[in-house]
A and B are shown apart, each in its own frame.
Chain A
């Protein structure tokens, strides 16, 4: 700890930080642009100038940039000094010279860091009356708008996009007054994390395109704290609503999970909620006709069904409440997780390993701290994107170590990068196709998943002899096995990543072996990824034996005749033929879901459920971290939360259900901790979802009736659909949107953190549900590999398309590709397949586009099934592939997207 004096007041600070960081951590107002809590200092904008004094005698002092000056012990500085103030006001005046006067039509207006800083620095009159510099804007794809005239050249965008997120297609161009930030030509920004530019840019150069087309000011949005449902990472988000439609999603800070950043699936994949196809009425479906049913009638039907033999099929995309209510309704033994058989099995394996005391499951923040990483078979960028961004930070730990040795502070961003050049912490990726992390991987091994598992077993064996050795590993891998084993053993904080999406239990088991072999005191970091928002939650609720096929068996042998399916399209969980035959056997099928799909088409009774933004719910992420997501607004149709269809009115509200789940469901005992205690709120007043500046309330329904309707009441939540109440400022534990006097932008978050980058005051980081058991498990034995001369199949995933719900969003669809099969050049040549040809898989009618990639291992293929275009569960592991001869006609199944959205580094190109 160091003592520094700021404007005559003494503060205890961390000398490893810079002065700007400490001023903000102490709650002081000091304007800045180029500095970002996650990206350190650049010293580019000169906005954070303060006076620093040599000692107490020194009355003159010198101007220093706070972000470039360490907070060393005994520092005496002044923010309020007249010289410093006038310097800062001159700086902002020159930064603002060519900035357009377009705040009223700018999407950033009202939450603009530049507006805040301009005001804070006291620049309120524009003296410059000459012609401003103007630029041409670029088309940057469906997500991001470009308005270069607003740029103040703080360089944050390229520092985020290139340096932090590893993008390669955005750069700073030209010099001085015509410096330009853009692509080399118009085109889609390739990074999966491009949406964060919207929040990183201190002004309106990069704005959210879809929000812009359906725009509402920040203060006119109704918001609530929410959790992203795009994958199992569980990033915290703030969705905003106006006039009954969901307008946008922005990041909500959670120090342990997403920090300041989201992926583009999470930020832009919500539009399905506003889809016209949303189910709105409970209907009885008879021979293609729909008959609307009252809620009472549905209740009767369900009661009748409950008396007979009924099974309930839950879903990894449904909330704990929906799954638990279903389990209560049908009974524990009749509840099924609704995952595919293999995924069910793998998830149970993952759960078991998550309880093993030899391991610990790292949070996203902990992943950033790993100093050696091995990824086994998971395509992290496409399955759990936010973790891929964290891995990009983990490889920088080498650079930070080098800097430490040279006494360079970690926040000296340019110096640290200059020092490290291409030095990175080791990241070894074992995958069936080249992943998007290839550019930072120290070793990238491409092979069939069976061979990869063997290599992984061999690495474990190399680390510790007692770990069982693998059967035949090709000699070509000996060196890399030695190297990776050595890197992992030498690391202080190694991390092993595997997961269920590789569909191979041996990769998970081998990951466990490696982690066990590394044997760290507090458990080795073992991160086992699952694909969907509540995969672990539903796995905790369902019995190990209750696989989907056992449910199907009971239906097939006639022992049950009724089923209730909650938010699950079974055609994604088992082969289409099998699901067809099973569902046709049922005499009663009740399906609850948000959007129509193949399963809802089969329902006798189809009940509409609310989307993530329309109800309060809890989800369990990949770590076993349960998080609470609040309702943002009310669905105006007859849809209701899935659990409510299954509960009696007297069962109470969602909080009662959460408490009941905590009390009754094994492993959920901490779930109740998530609920805020209404007693804690001032004068028992609710937290408003609307800001105190929310406008137009009296007018927004005037087209229907000039009398202002009563505000909707929310009897269930601690939040209200209103602007009245005590907003969740400063110390409240539910913070949808941060705001502080003079800080209207998202940068106000520093006012709510313990310290910059720290936990939120009274932070709400979720409840960890999975406890470690006492006894450690043992090593898994490697399997024996059978050789085959057919092509070995791996499944491929896409960030835009592999998630069922976000794939229904219009702008996500603009980035999706059709089903494709990645194949090695030799295998393609042997079958006379050319780049982009339509091919048939196996001996049935699945068709995909051939994608010849130079680094696919001959003898293997990777199939991306599109948005369920290909029935993945009907594909054999060893598979035949044939050129589809009539390739011009197509089969009408493809959506005509082609492969233009595909971003892979090893696509075979003709010689140029």
Chain B
């Protein structure tokens, strides 16, 4: 049976995946971070501080909501939503950000940098920086600053500096490149607050550790509500942080299917997608070995998705491993399928989800219809859709 931690050595490997592929200049900072994280895990004062922030600042535990009207469209299966959208700042991202911001202070650093795609991680980072008195610089692809201008304004209101990145494809992957360049240069006083379970060790394990509370809470909540474990747990996967967060506590429950929904864009067969596990190959990107969208020369290929938060040509190494060993399944959801599920949740449940999250909801419609009315599905409602109103209005032809 699987080791629940899934890390098979001290170098952050998940089978052949993970590890550290970075300039030597960053090794010292990664080792420092690993030590800080490991010691914080065992420090009751740190844990108490984080728990209190969860309780009195971000609003944990997040509730679960049974989506009965939505379920009528999902083969009658029981659909239970884990409401990470109700966290302060509107998504699961705050869990990781609060943890890493506390670690930043623990390491005596005064400045954080972050990358952001949809802007949710940037907003969460700017929020934590404001709360803890840290300087904050957020790198965001120029393309994304246009798609998510409301979140850019939010970050600025919170006192962060937003740097539009004009290199490469001007999206999330280029924002990460720019953040890494900043980090190499300013590593002495700066922590790179990476927003997903990718990047060099210890980021994939550390970010997972800060998000696994999602699954721990949800597992107990579902058992309390239904008297048993769910049949499947579903989450959208870009880099994969909300998915790992809700999956992790269920890995040991081998009868519970874990299903990640990737961004299929116009369809994986068109080449215009961001479904890295479904349509990618093994490679190294941004410091870790995983699945990557790449060409025959190992050059990263641009990803495409209506959802800025899933528009990334890589994926966390733990997901790659869970896929290869068959513990988790990954499917691609097209833009059109995601937007249909988005609209359906709005109208059946009175909840506007993030477009990222809508991919998980589209997956729930598929899996519910496959499994039928006896099944119970737990879906991570990872974020709310306020930031996506403009995109959705454009998509559905609602005049603004």
Q: Do A and B come from one complex?
A: no
B→A interface (CB under 8 Å): none
A→B interface (CB under 8 Å): none
